[in-house]
Amino acid sequence: MIKTSENQILFMGNALLDISAKCDQKLLDKYKLKVDDNCEAEDWQLPIFDKLLLMPNAITTPGGSAQNSARIAQQILTKQTGPESVYFVGSVGNDKTGKILESSVRSSKVRTLYHYHPTLPTGVSAGMVTSETNRTLMANIGASAQMPTEFLDSSLVKKALNKSVVYFVESYFVTHSPILVLSLAKISEQLNKNLFLSLSANYVVTNHFEELMHLMPYTDAVFANSSEAQTFYTHLTGNKIADMYTIATSIAKLDKCKQTNHFWTDIKRCVFITRGSESVIVAKYFANNEIIVKEYSVPKIDVIGDTIGAGDAFVGGIVAHLVTGHNIDDSVHFGIQIASKVCQQRGCVLVDNDF
């Protein structure tokens, strides 16, 4: 169990305003979007955000993968470790949307450490729900893509880096700021902090595999869904397989340049692979080079809301549980529970505080 004075978490990623709206296939076809796809908007697709905002069923919440996880983690931790146990580092525009976003995130007790871009707008992400289990995500990340590397040297961020026991970064951020993320990874080594990385999306893995491989030696945990993990394995080995045990093992056994002992003293790396309603696969790579892969069942639930943010909630639940002294098994079960609760709401929202 870690010390109670070492329970802060720092998340870094795209600071976005999320739009969730139910729509039909015609809208996706008009903007050449695929069901369950995940992409960044091209210029000609930007009008879709205004269309979604005008829909009567549209809702807006703070968004961005890591920022979602930060809000969920803080909501869980507030009762145990108090407000502002979680930091979020990102970049927003110096605009009305950015102010709305910051106010909303701070209302969830997260300590925002935003860089304010003078000209670019605050980013927006849209979740288009076409059925109970199908959703398409598209983002216009705007100012999120323009956080300078030297922002990590600012006094408030340096203080947060020193106080946090784990840094979590989404790979979406790698697509536009690979040098900055690598700088964070090197800081994690220098300060003996845990570095957790999510693979985020297939297009991220495909287009930025080399940059992700530069980060892997520093990672203490890797999060992915089954599709992302398969894509990563294919780029790693040149082979396509469906065996999640082999895939999880291969990712877990990638070379490391550091050993962090805050959560576990005998494990080099953990790999967490979610598979929707199927069991979660977790690979533990031990210091003696042994690998143990285990499945964790996912209870069947009726999706009342949508599955947007379920993966982010899973991460938030796991990390919050780890920093309060729980083991990996308990933390995975807790993460599954939190993700299930989020599926009962629209967007990445956790209502029930009875954890």
Residues with catalytic roles = 312
Alpha-carbon distance 244 to 230, whole Å?
8
CA dist 93 to 16, 108, 121, Å? 10, 20, 5
Alpha-carbon distance 152 to 185, whole Å?
12
| Other Cβ atoms closer than 10 A to 187 | 19
Strand partners for 124: 17, 140
Angle between helices 65-81 and 96-107 (to 10 degrees): 30
Strand partners for 222: 197, 271
Residue 268 DSSP class: E
Q: How far out from the chain centre does Cα 193 lie?
A: 18
Asked if 10 and 73 count as a contact pair (C-beta separation under 8 A), the reply is no
Structure tokens, 126: 């849209």
Q: Which of 183, 175, 169 is nearest to 208 (CA)?
A: 175
Coil vs helix vs strand at 279: strand
